[in-house]
Amino acid sequence: MVPGRFTRVARQSPERSANLRLMKRLVVNAAIMGSLAAGGLAVQATRIHDAYGAWRLTATETPLRLTALHREYDRSHLPPTSAPPWGFESRGQTDGGGTILAPTGLKERTPVVIYVQDGEGRVWSYGLVGGP
């Protein structure tokens, strides 16, 4: 080996070593917290998808799939109307805040079609899944 500047072993100062250890701890903790947050968001999105049929973090006023009046309904592919049809009354709310409209006078029977009105006044139609 040639004597000179390459023969000395470089040593870090104690402060620099402490700073590096602290930085490593911060990076590891940030990675753990990020993984936990991503896992929580994934669980919430999966729960909403299973319940309402859409990949979201919160329930909407007019979900794709709706459990109402003890039955399941799917939203139709028709565009929304601006007013509810005649002969329908309010029978509850969706988890997202939409108003469920069912035919008047069908308290004991299961309606085949229901409507949901959102906060903007649009009315969406839903059809019963399965038979009555």
Which pLDDT value is given to residue 88? 93
Q: What is the pTM of this model?
A: 0.65
Which pLDDT value is given to residue 38? 93
First to last CA, the chain: 91
Which pLDDT value is given to residue 15? 82
Is the separation of the CB atoms in 81 and 67 below 8 Å?
no
Q: Which amino acid is at 102?
A: A
Residues 86 and 126: their CA atoms lie apart, in Å, by 16
Which pLDDT value is given to residue 118? 93
Reading the chain (132 residues) residue by residue, the pLDDT tens digits are 555 556 655 677 778 888 888 999 999 999 999 999 999 999 988 888 887 777 878 777 888 889 888 899 999 999 999 998 999 999 999 988 999 999 998 777 889 999 999 999 999 999 999 876
